[in-house]
Amino acid sequence: MTSTDRRPASTQDDYEPDPRRWRALSVNLVAGFMTLLDVSIVSVALPSMRDALGTTAAGVQWVVSGYALTFGLVLVPAGRLGDAFGRRRIFLVALAAFVLTSALAGAAPTIELLVAARLLQGVAAGFLAPQNSALIQQLFRGAERGRAFGLFGATVGLSTATGPVVGGLLIGLFGEDLGWRTIFFVNVPIGVVALVLAARLLPKGRPSGTNTDIDVVGTLLLALGAVLVLLPLVQAESGGLRRLWWLFLVGAAVIAAFVRWERRVVSRGREPVFDVRLLTQTRGYAAGVAVGTVYFIGFSGIWLVFALYFQTGLGWTPLHSGLSVVPFAIGAAGSAAVAGRLVSRVGRLLTVVGLSVVSAGLLLTAFLVYTLDPGTLTWAVLPALFLAGLGGGFVISPNITLTLRDVPVRMAGAAGGGLQTTQRFGAALGSAVLPGLFYVVLGASGQDYSTAAGVALGVAVLGALGALVIAIPDWLRDRRADRAEQRPAEHHGHAALD
């Protein structure tokens, strides 16, 4: 990647606005919502699945962890395949596979078949996800792209936070035995409609100049490295960190070999599965990846902590527990849409403000959980969670926009897949560490659930603060770069007057 690759993507390819781009975006968002919803919606249904299928807690945990594992495993290769062979084609195949595997999961008669269906469903979701961000890169430019990513960010926040609510509602409506199956079946009619609309609205073809050469060795190395790093994390609840910690070391060695191989592929003039020069030569990409990864450590883990505290500690129903975190989703959805309109003008400062606000909101929530009587907690935490959600909406969508801002459209799929892969790593780490910390403090405090939840939520704040530490220098670098670009223009203007 040469220095010319640093210029905005809008100048690197011929662009004519597609008159159907906003309708295509709506289909894109529906598919993205379904795949992300299936990460969080299942958590409230695990006890029902365990009883209905007569399995153990460790067995049913694979329904969650298996999906997360295969989802994260294929993101980068799927993005590269979309770049090479057309995002519409990969999107349609992946969406059809997601609908089919959702039906198989809902109809599964045994835990083994359910887990197998969820593994395949995760693969389908992983192939869909990078096409979501890449299609936005392809369809929109300038301020419109920021607004589109703002809507995408609102979708991410809503899908994550409303998953437990939707799951609780379905179980409440259809009962313990049938309710957990409807969690999967509900994807089928929605997915079929989305599939028909996607076939009509999504742009055909692929970006000009894209090489269809596929780096098989790089793909296999990345897949192996991702499995080795993710497996201990997704198995944390059943002792994976204790038993499989050594896989982190092996995984790091494999990923190092992957980086070396990719550099070799580039030096030979071939197309890598992931061009590592994105991290070193594309403005904002490395910082955006780091911000997203660290932020997702806390963002993903807090929902499990809330579920454990509300349902196990306070005895609330899954629906009551899910409804309690809706203010976060409302705040995030509203601010993400606003952030999409501001990001092209405000830049990284928007992320800095968002991380500061979400840190304050989560810290206030942790304090209230630790100090208040549980009987008054439901209403007391609503403003704090809403504040945290407002901040969260200023983080996810602007960070995606800024991270991918200078990525060439021909590489949008692989770059988006790389960003989402690291976010999956952060989410897996947070989902392992925060519940683990919850149980450690619970045992040390004599089964004091309020203390355990307060401490775990307090530690989640460190994730947002860590992301803030990364975002501030990037914001300052952008300010210096903008000033440097303005000085020659001002000097030229004065010279013209003279």
pLDDT at residue 46, as a whole number: 77
- Record the pTM: 0.79
Q: Is the pLDDT of residue 497 over 50?
A: no
Q: Which DSSP symbol is given to 4? A: G
Amino acid in position 328: F
Return the number of other C-beta atoms located less than 10 Å from residue 260's C-beta.
Answer: 12
For position 410, what pLDDT does the model report? 77
Which of 115 and 51 is assigned the larger pLDDT?
A: 115
- Mean of all residue pLDDT scores within the chain: 83
For 18-205+273-481, CATH number out of 2.40.110.10, 1.20.1250.20, 1.10.10.10, 3.50.50.60 equals 1.20.1250.20
The CA distance from 306 to 388, in Å, is 14
Could you tell me the pLDDT band of residue 12, with boundaries at 50, 70 and 90? very low
**Is the model's pLDDT at 3 over the cut of 70?**
no
Which residue ranges make up each domain of the chain? 18-205+273-481, 215-272
Q: Give per-residue pLDDT as tens, 335-355.
A: 888 888 888 888 889 999 999
* The residue to which tokens 């860590």 are assigned: 466
Task: Report the SS3 class of residue 87.
Answer: helix
More confidently predicted of 89 and 212: 89
DSSP codes joined into one string, 229-296: HHHHHHTGGGTHHHHHTHHHHHHHHHHHHHHHHHHHHHHTTPPPSS-THHHHHSTTHHHHHHHHHHHH
The residue ranking higher by pLDDT, 268 or 241, is 268
- Alpha helices for 372-411 (secondary structure H): 377-393, 396-404
Distance, in Å, from the CA atom of 36 to the CA atom of 349, rounded to the nearest integer, reads 27
Residues in the chain: 498
At 296, list the tokens.
């997702």
pLDDT for the residue numbered 418: 84
The arithmetic mean of pLDDT across residues 248-277, rounded, is: 86
Residue pLDDT, tens place only, 28-87: 999 988 888 887 788 777 778 888 888 877 677 788 778 878 888 888 888 888 888 888
pLDDT in tens, 178-188: 888 999 998 99
Q: Which residue has the higher pLDDT, 87 or 206?
A: 87
pLDDT tens profile 430-468: 877 888 888 888 888 888 899 999 999 998 999 899 999
The pLDDT value recorded for residue 207 is 59
Supply the pLDDT for residue 461.
92
